[in-house]
């Protein structure tokens, strides 16, 4: 990237709305954003304007929790670039970022090249302890989440089950602005997830050795290419069979890349496979 590509979008004013997971932030998002006079809301990977999704992709559209966390933090390059381009086009404007901690909000703002927040509101500022406790019971007992978007739009951006709708009334010409959708994702996630390289190695060995003619994996190297991308180098011992070695290595390469992406949510830059031994 050039220096110009990394410039802060100075025309975008930012606010933060912070609270622990399951405390009711998304349920109050539209009201709080209207109090702050924010034009947009960033919530779980989505950019929302008056109850409509205008950019981004929901973390709740992901089918595993690691991908969901990375989606919420805008760690996927195409997702991040789409949202950055959107705010460049909309500038000057203001946006309220919802997060579970100050660190999470600052990380999102850094990823999207936005300024630090001029004002921070916390869930305790707008909800009573009883309301927060009730919201946490709904999250932990029922696994239900609230998305501050109409259910019609959520259907296109969600992988789990739509449970119900909420409607909050206040003076607005936009009928969808006060709509919220209650959803149940295919998983629940809280906090951060860390994957040890050894876990990736074990997954690679498991997938590779379940390919016909692969006798064993003799070596696996996991290389961190960039902040959120890996390269994998595999050496395998194979037996002679119906499949040519080049075709066999290509098959292992494709199966490993797809499987690691699916089970871990990590971006794979390269998978290199070397046939190091032939067993007769």
Name, in order, each residue with C-beta under 8 angstroms of 131's C-beta and a sequence gap of 6 or more. 24
**Token pair 């609270």 is at which residue?**
19
Q: Are residues 211 and 175 in the same domain?
A: no
Q: Report the distance separating Cα 274 and Cα 3, nearest Å.
A: 39
Provide the sign of the torsion angle of the four alpha carbons 133, 134, 138, 144, taken in this order. Answer: negative
pLDDT, residue 139, reads 66
Residue 88 counted as domain residue? yes
Q: Report the distance separating Cα 164 and Cα 177, nearest Å.
A: 16
Block mean pLDDT (10 aa), the chain, length 280: 66 95 84 92 91 86 78 91 95 95 94 95 92 78 54 47 42 46 49 71 92 93 77 93 92 90 78 91
Residue 74 counted as domain residue? yes
CA 22 to chain centre: 17
Q: Can you give the CATH number for the domain in which 238 is found?
A: 3.30.70.1350
pLDDT, residue 125, reads 93
pLDDT, residue 254, reads 92
Last residue of a domain, one of 161, 184, 207: 184
Q: Report the distance separating Cα 89 and Cα 93, nearest Å.
A: 10
Asked if 183 and 147 touch (Cβ cutoff 8 Å), the reply is: yes
3-state helix, strand, coil in the chain (%, to 5): 40, 30, 30
3 state DSSP class of 178? coil
pLDDT, residue 58, reads 84
pLDDT, residue 267, reads 75
Phi, psi at 147, each rounded to 5°: -115, 125
Q: Are residues 76 and 30 in the same domain?
A: yes
Helices 197-209 and 245-264: crossing angle in degrees, nearest 10, is: 140
* Domain coverage including residue 221: 197-279
Q: Give the number of domains in the chain.
A: 2
pLDDT, residue 110, reads 94
Q: Are residues 145 and 243 in the same domain?
A: no
Residue 149 counted as domain residue? yes
Q: Report the distance separating Cα 218 and Cα 215, nearest Å.
A: 9
Phi, psi at 192, each rounded to 5°: -110, 155
Asked if 128 and 24 touch (Cβ cutoff 8 Å), the reply is: no
- The DSSP bridge partners found for residue 144 are none
Q: Are residues 228 and 174 in the same domain?
A: no
Rg of the Cα trace of the chain? 22
Last residue of a domain, one of 184, 214, 231: 184
């Amino acid at each position: 990237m050039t220096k110009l590509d990394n410039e802060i979008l100075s025309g975008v004013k930012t606010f933060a709305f912070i609270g622990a997971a399951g405390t009711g932030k998304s349920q109050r998002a539209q009201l709080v954003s209207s109090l702050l006079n924010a034009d947009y809301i960033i919530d779980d990977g989505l950019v929302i304007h008056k109850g409509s999704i205008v950019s981004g992709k929901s973390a709740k559209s992901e089918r595993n929790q690691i991908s969901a966390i990375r989606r919420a933090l805008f760690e996927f390059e195409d997702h991040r670039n789409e949202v950055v381009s959107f705010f460049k086009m909309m500038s000057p404007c203001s946006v309220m970022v919802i997060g579970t901690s100050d660190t999470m909000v600052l990380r999102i703002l850094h990823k999207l090249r936005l300024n630090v927040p001029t004002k921070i509101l916390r869930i305790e500022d707008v909800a009573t302890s009883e309301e927060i406790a009730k919201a946490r019971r709904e999250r932990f007992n029922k696994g239900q989440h609230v998305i501050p978007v109409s259910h019609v739009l959520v259907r296109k951006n969600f992988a789990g089950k739509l449970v119900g709708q909420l409607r909050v009334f206040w003076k607005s010409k936009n009928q969808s602005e006060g709509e919220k959708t209650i959803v149940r994702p295919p998983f629940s996630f809280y906090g951060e997830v860390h994957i040890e390289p050894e876990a990736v190695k074990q997954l690679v060995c498991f997938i590779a050795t379940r390919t016909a003619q692969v006798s064993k994996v003799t070596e696996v190297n996991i290389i961190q290419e960039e902040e959120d991308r890996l390269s994998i180098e595999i050496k395998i011992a194979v037996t002679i069979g119906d499949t040519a070695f080049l075709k066999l290595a290509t098959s292992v390469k494709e199966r490993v890349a797809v499987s690691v992406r699916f089970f871990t949510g990590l971006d794979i830059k390269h998978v290199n496979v070397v046939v190091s031994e032939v067993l007769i």
